[in-house]
Amino acid sequence: MADLSESRERVRAALTSRISADLRRRRRRRNRLVGVIMTPLVLAAATAGFYILNVTPEQAKYTAFCYSGPSAKSYAEEVALAVGGPEDNTEAVDPVELCSSLWRDGRIQPGATVRPAPRPPATAPPAPAPSKVPELVKCIRDDWRYAVLPAPGNAPISTEEFCPQVGMRPANLDVEKMLREQQGK
């Protein structure tokens, strides 16, 4: 009987050892597979995040978001200056001028919540008359890009008064200086 008990214990120990070894091998294989898959994904996400979140001075200087209403929650369209740049020392067009052109062109409609329908082809009836450009206020968003919003009630309003109301910074800040300071940290 003692031989039978010892035999059972040896079989139990051998099975326990084998099962433990299999579990360890599976964990190592799973961890390697997760590492092989996750490492490139994390690197790609980090790289994309770096480029998305780090606005260069050129991007801040040559792009603007044009809003359809006097709120940061209204429809906005990003517009960029297509010509010029730092290499030819061309000054950027004022963001208010960029957005005024979208208003005149009808691409931004007052109070719109979605992108307007595309313009009809040349064979269709003529497009509606250009929109009237409201009083526009220039602010700075959290990502350091310009935001141009119509003033409430189409009345002139100061950037220092209006921008904090919509959760943005006044546009009279020196964005390039602040970006240099931020990148220097």
Q: What is the 3-state secondary structure (H, E, C) of 54-97?
A: CCCHHHHHHEEEEECCCCCCCCEEEEECCCCCHHHCCCCCCHHH
Average pLDDT over residues 68-90: 71
Task: Find the domain containing 103 and state its range.
Answer: 57-184
Half-sphere exposure of 77 (CA within 13 A, CB side): 19
Q: Which residue has the tokens 């603007």?
A: 64
pLDDT score recorded for residue 131: 64
> If residue 21 lies in a helix (H) or strand (E), which one and from where to where?
helix 2-53
155/102 same-domain check:
yes
Its pTM stands at: 0.54
Sorting pLDDT into bands at 50, 70 and 90, what band is 136?
very high
Instruction: Tell me the CA end-to-end span of the chain in Å, nearest whole number.
Output: 77
- The answer on 45 and 120 residing in a single domain is no
What is the mean pLDDT of the segment spanning 163-171? 88
91 and 152 assigned to the same domain:
yes
Q: Are residues 47 and 61 in the same domain?
A: no
Q: Are residues 38 and 84 in the same domain?
A: no
Number of domains in the chain: 2
Q: Are residues 45 and 130 in the same domain?
A: no
Q: Do 24 and 104 lie in a common domain?
A: no
